[in-house]
Amino acid sequence: MDWSVGYREIAPDRAFKNAIHCLWVSVMPGDEPEPTHVLPDACTDLIWQSGAGAFVAGPDTGPMSDARPPGTVLVGVRFLPGAGGAALGVPLDELLDQRVDAGDLPGVPRGRLPGSLSPQEALRRLSVIGADLVTERPPDPLVLGAARLLARPGARADTVATRLGIGERQLRRRCQAAVGYGPRTLSRVLRFRRFVSRVDVGDGADLAVIAAETGYADQAHLTRESTRLAGLPPAALARSRG
């Protein structure tokens, strides 16, 4: 594992790809780092911090500024949209826009992730804990299916409910517990992540083209959503991530 300064992701074991998006490591520089701006992604993370222990980052509905001491190492397991609520043993709408001590959640084993661990051991334990959590409490397959459908450009919450054979009210209730918010907000966040993914790969296309191809009505629609979800208009967000 590369433990140099920076952020990197590790693919989960194939047996758990239906519930775990990735394991990840973030190593802060030794001098005073700039605050990190975390953007909504519809995921939930169980995170170990060197010298501090474990916490959970609940689902976000807007940008979150995150500042850590110089040299801090973070190691996390990121649950897919729809998998976090079951894995952590708590309805995720109770954790909306929050960072909470992992010991306060019934689904997280106590005492397994003290801050005194080495980063290598924290990564090993998180990989085991994440696999155990999604095995013992697997995600709601209907919500996973809804998330996959809503991740497609042009998807609508009402038509997704019909396709899944349930009512909109039931889909909203199950999404709130498993994701943290209802299918309409989930659709907005997943659409925004499609835009962010295009930005992150250095897509040089015009913003109006990217807006249309990622599911926005027009560039003005993208601008409104980017400002709400990231705190920046699209062009400024692209520059900051570059």
Q: Residues 17-33: what's their mean pLDDT?
A: 93
pLDDT bucket at 202, cuts 50 / 70 / 90: confident
Cα distance between residue 27 and residue 150, in whole Å: 33
Q: What is the DSSP letter of 232?
A: S
Contact 207, 222 (CB under 8 A): yes
pLDDT per residue as tens digits for the range 66-90: 889 999 999 999 999 999 999 999 9
CB count within 10 Å of CB 177 equals 18
Enter the tokens of residue 199: 């930005």
The secondary structure element, H or E, covering residue 163 is helix 157-164
Closest by CA to 59, choosing from 75, 76, 47, 42, is: 42
- Where do the domains of the chain lie, and which CATH numbers do they carry? 6-136 (no CATH), 141-241 (1.10.10.60)
Report field, pTM of the whole predicted structure over 0.85: yes
pLDDT per residue as tens digits for the range 104-150: 998 999 999 999 999 999 999 999 999 999 999 999 999 999 999 99
Cα distance between residue 111 and residue 125, in whole Å: 11
Distances (CA, A) of 93 to 35, 176, 220, 228: 26, 6, 30, 19
Contact 130, 23 (CB under 8 A): yes
Contact 56, 16 (CB under 8 A): no
Cα distance between residue 206 and residue 211, in whole Å: 9
Enter the tokens of residue 101: 């001590």
In sign, the C-alpha dihedral spanning 142, 144, 146, 149 is: negative
| pLDDT for residue 40 | 97
Quote the strand ranges of the chain, DSSP E.
6-10, 20-27, 36-38, 44-49, 53-57, 64-66, 73-79, 99-101
Q: What is the DSSP letter of 181?
A: S
Distances (CA, A) of 214 to 22, 75, 191: 23, 31, 6
Enter the tokens of residue 153: 């450009």
User: Under 8 Å CB-to-CB from 152, ≥6 apart: which residues?
Assistant: none
Q: What is the DSSP letter of 165?
A: T
Token pair 């140099």 in the structure block, residue: 4
pLDDT per residue as tens digits for the range 152-170: 988 888 899 999 999 999 9
